[in-house]
Amino acid sequence: MCKGLAALPHTCLERAKEIKTKLGTLLQKPDSAIDFIIPYSEKPEKPAKAVKPSPEEVLQWRDSLEKLLQNPYGLASFRSFLCSEFSEENVEFWVACEDYKKTKSPVKMEEKAKRIYEEFIQTEAPKEVNIDHFTKAVTMKNLVEPSPSSFDMAQKRIFALMEKDSLPRFVRSEFYQELIK
Protein backbone atom coordinates (compact mmCIF):
# COMPACT_ATOMS: atom_id res chain seq x y z
CA MET A 1 0.00 0.00 0.00
CA CYS A 2 2.77 2.44 0.87
CA LYS A 3 4.61 2.26 -2.45
CA GLY A 4 1.47 2.92 -4.45
CA LEU A 5 0.35 5.83 -2.30
CA ALA A 6 3.80 7.42 -2.26
CA ALA A 7 3.72 7.69 -6.06
CA LEU A 8 0.39 9.58 -6.10
CA PRO A 9 0.38 13.36 -6.10
CA HIS A 10 -0.67 14.91 -2.81
CA THR A 11 -4.04 16.07 -4.18
CA CYS A 12 -4.89 12.52 -5.28
CA LEU A 13 -4.20 11.30 -1.75
CA GLU A 14 -6.47 13.97 -0.34
CA ARG A 15 -9.19 13.05 -2.86
CA ALA A 16 -8.86 9.36 -1.99
CA LYS A 17 -9.14 10.13 1.75
CA GLU A 18 -12.19 12.33 1.12
CA ILE A 19 -13.87 9.60 -0.94
CA LYS A 20 -13.06 6.99 1.73
CA THR A 21 -14.55 9.20 4.44
CA LYS A 22 -17.71 9.84 2.44
CA LEU A 23 -18.10 6.16 1.57
CA GLY A 24 -17.75 5.26 5.25
CA THR A 25 -20.44 7.77 6.13
CA LEU A 26 -22.71 6.44 3.39
CA LEU A 27 -22.35 2.92 4.72
CA GLN A 28 -23.36 4.09 8.19
CA LYS A 29 -26.30 6.25 7.05
CA PRO A 30 -27.72 4.96 3.75
CA ASP A 31 -30.75 7.28 3.94
CA SER A 32 -28.54 10.39 3.68
CA ALA A 33 -26.86 9.33 0.44
CA ILE A 34 -28.31 12.28 -1.41
CA ASP A 35 -26.18 14.68 0.68
CA PHE A 36 -22.89 13.26 -0.53
CA ILE A 37 -21.45 13.75 -3.97
CA ILE A 38 -18.04 12.25 -4.62
CA PRO A 39 -15.88 14.83 -6.41
CA TYR A 40 -14.29 13.65 -9.63
CA SER A 41 -12.36 15.91 -11.89
CA GLU A 42 -12.76 15.17 -15.59
CA LYS A 43 -9.08 15.76 -16.22
CA PRO A 44 -7.12 13.97 -13.50
CA GLU A 45 -3.79 15.51 -12.62
CA LYS A 46 -0.85 13.65 -14.06
CA PRO A 47 2.10 13.15 -11.74
CA ALA A 48 5.35 14.67 -12.94
CA LYS A 49 7.49 12.08 -14.68
CA ALA A 50 10.74 11.47 -12.90
CA VAL A 51 13.58 10.81 -15.29
CA LYS A 52 15.99 8.12 -14.18
CA PRO A 53 19.27 9.82 -13.28
CA SER A 54 22.65 8.76 -14.58
CA PRO A 55 24.82 6.52 -12.35
CA GLU A 56 27.16 9.50 -11.89
CA GLU A 57 24.35 11.64 -10.52
CA VAL A 58 23.19 8.81 -8.25
CA LEU A 59 26.73 8.47 -6.87
CA GLN A 60 26.56 12.11 -5.73
CA TRP A 61 23.65 11.24 -3.47
CA ARG A 62 25.98 9.28 -1.17
CA ASP A 63 27.43 12.55 0.04
CA SER A 64 24.44 14.88 -0.30
CA LEU A 65 21.00 14.20 1.09
CA GLU A 66 20.02 17.61 -0.27
CA LYS A 67 20.81 16.54 -3.86
CA LEU A 68 18.94 13.28 -3.31
CA LEU A 69 15.81 15.06 -2.03
CA GLN A 70 15.90 17.65 -4.83
CA ASN A 71 15.81 14.95 -7.51
CA PRO A 72 12.25 13.60 -8.05
CA TYR A 73 13.56 10.11 -8.89
CA GLY A 74 15.91 10.19 -5.91
CA LEU A 75 13.14 11.34 -3.58
CA ALA A 76 10.82 8.57 -4.85
CA SER A 77 13.56 5.93 -4.45
CA PHE A 78 14.46 7.15 -0.96
CA ARG A 79 10.80 7.24 0.02
CA SER A 80 10.28 3.67 -1.26
CA PHE A 81 13.31 2.50 0.69
CA LEU A 82 12.08 4.15 3.90
CA CYS A 83 8.64 2.71 3.28
CA SER A 84 10.16 -0.77 3.10
CA GLU A 85 11.63 -0.12 6.56
CA PHE A 86 8.38 1.35 7.90
CA SER A 87 10.15 4.65 8.59
CA GLU A 88 8.84 6.99 5.91
CA GLU A 89 7.47 9.57 8.36
CA ASN A 90 10.70 11.61 8.35
CA VAL A 91 10.83 12.12 4.60
CA GLU A 92 7.07 12.73 4.49
CA PHE A 93 7.47 15.40 7.17
CA TRP A 94 10.36 16.99 5.25
CA VAL A 95 8.29 17.07 2.03
CA ALA A 96 5.27 18.50 3.88
CA CYS A 97 7.48 21.27 5.31
CA GLU A 98 8.87 22.09 1.86
CA ASP A 99 5.31 22.36 0.52
CA TYR A 100 4.27 24.44 3.54
CA LYS A 101 7.08 26.97 2.97
CA LYS A 102 5.80 27.61 -0.57
CA THR A 103 2.31 28.52 0.70
CA LYS A 104 1.42 32.17 0.15
CA SER A 105 -2.10 32.43 1.56
CA PRO A 106 -2.18 32.96 5.35
CA VAL A 107 -5.41 30.94 5.58
CA LYS A 108 -3.93 27.97 3.67
CA MET A 109 -0.72 28.30 5.68
CA GLU A 110 -2.67 28.02 8.92
CA GLU A 111 -4.58 24.97 7.59
CA LYS A 112 -1.35 23.25 6.47
CA ALA A 113 0.40 24.10 9.75
CA LYS A 114 -2.44 22.49 11.70
CA ARG A 115 -2.35 19.39 9.48
CA ILE A 116 1.45 19.04 9.75
CA TYR A 117 1.30 19.49 13.52
CA GLU A 118 -1.47 16.91 13.95
CA GLU A 119 0.11 14.39 11.59
CA PHE A 120 3.78 14.66 12.59
CA ILE A 121 4.49 16.78 15.69
CA GLN A 122 1.87 16.28 18.39
CA THR A 123 2.37 13.48 20.90
CA GLU A 124 0.86 10.22 19.58
CA ALA A 125 0.48 11.71 16.07
CA PRO A 126 -0.16 9.06 13.38
CA LYS A 127 3.28 9.70 11.85
CA GLU A 128 5.03 11.29 14.81
CA VAL A 129 8.61 12.30 14.04
CA ASN A 130 11.34 11.91 16.61
CA ILE A 131 12.25 15.40 17.79
CA ASP A 132 13.41 16.54 21.21
CA HIS A 133 11.12 18.35 23.65
CA PHE A 134 12.85 21.71 23.14
CA THR A 135 12.35 21.55 19.34
CA LYS A 136 8.74 20.50 19.81
CA ALA A 137 8.14 23.40 22.23
CA VAL A 138 9.73 25.94 19.87
CA THR A 139 7.66 24.59 16.97
CA MET A 140 4.45 24.80 19.00
CA LYS A 141 5.30 28.39 19.97
CA ASN A 142 5.95 29.21 16.29
CA LEU A 143 2.52 27.90 15.36
CA VAL A 144 0.72 30.53 17.44
CA GLU A 145 1.27 32.80 14.42
CA PRO A 146 2.24 30.53 11.50
CA SER A 147 4.93 31.78 9.14
CA PRO A 148 6.99 30.09 6.42
CA SER A 149 9.69 29.39 9.02
CA SER A 150 7.40 27.83 11.67
CA PHE A 151 8.75 24.30 11.14
CA ASP A 152 12.37 25.22 10.29
CA MET A 153 13.95 23.96 13.51
CA ALA A 154 12.05 20.65 13.44
CA GLN A 155 12.74 20.22 9.72
CA LYS A 156 16.47 20.78 10.25
CA ARG A 157 16.51 18.21 13.07
CA ILE A 158 14.75 15.64 10.88
CA PHE A 159 17.04 16.41 7.93
CA ALA A 160 20.07 15.84 10.19
CA LEU A 161 18.56 12.59 11.45
CA MET A 162 17.95 11.33 7.89
CA GLU A 163 21.43 12.43 6.84
CA LYS A 164 23.09 10.62 9.74
CA ASP A 165 20.89 7.53 9.92
CA SER A 166 18.65 6.93 6.88
CA LEU A 167 20.99 8.02 4.07
CA PRO A 168 23.81 5.59 5.00
CA ARG A 169 21.30 2.72 5.17
CA PHE A 170 19.83 3.77 1.82
CA VAL A 171 23.28 3.85 0.20
CA ARG A 172 23.92 0.28 1.40
CA SER A 173 20.49 -0.90 0.21
CA GLU A 174 19.54 -2.77 -2.95
CA PHE A 175 17.38 0.23 -3.92
CA TYR A 176 20.50 2.35 -4.28
CA GLN A 177 22.76 -0.37 -5.67
CA GLU A 178 20.31 -0.94 -8.54
CA LEU A 179 20.43 2.76 -9.41
CA ILE A 180 24.21 2.92 -9.82
CA LYS A 181 24.33 0.02 -12.27
pLDDT tens-digit readout, 132-175: 999 999 999 999 999 999 999 999 999 999 999 999 999 999 98
- For residue 43, the one-letter residue type is K
Q: How many CA atoms lie within 13 A of 55 on its CB side?
A: 4
Q: pLDDT tens, 48-86? A: 567 889 999 999 999 999 999 999 999 999 999 999 999
Helices then strands (H, E): number in the chain? 11, 0
Q: Domain containing 81: what range?
A: 55-178
Residue 22 within a domain: no
Residue 21 within a domain: no
Residue 4 within a domain: no
Residue 23 within a domain: no
Total tally of structural domains belonging to the chain: 1
pTM equals 0.71
Distance of CA 161 to the CA centre of its chain: 16
Residue 49 within a domain: no
What DSSP character marks residue 148?
A: T
Q: What is the CATH number for 75? A: 1.10.167.10
Q: pLDDT tens, 17-54? A: 555 555 444 444 444 333 434 343 333 344 456 788 99
Residue 29 within a domain: no
Query: CA nearest 101: which of 113, 89, 90, 117?
Result: 113
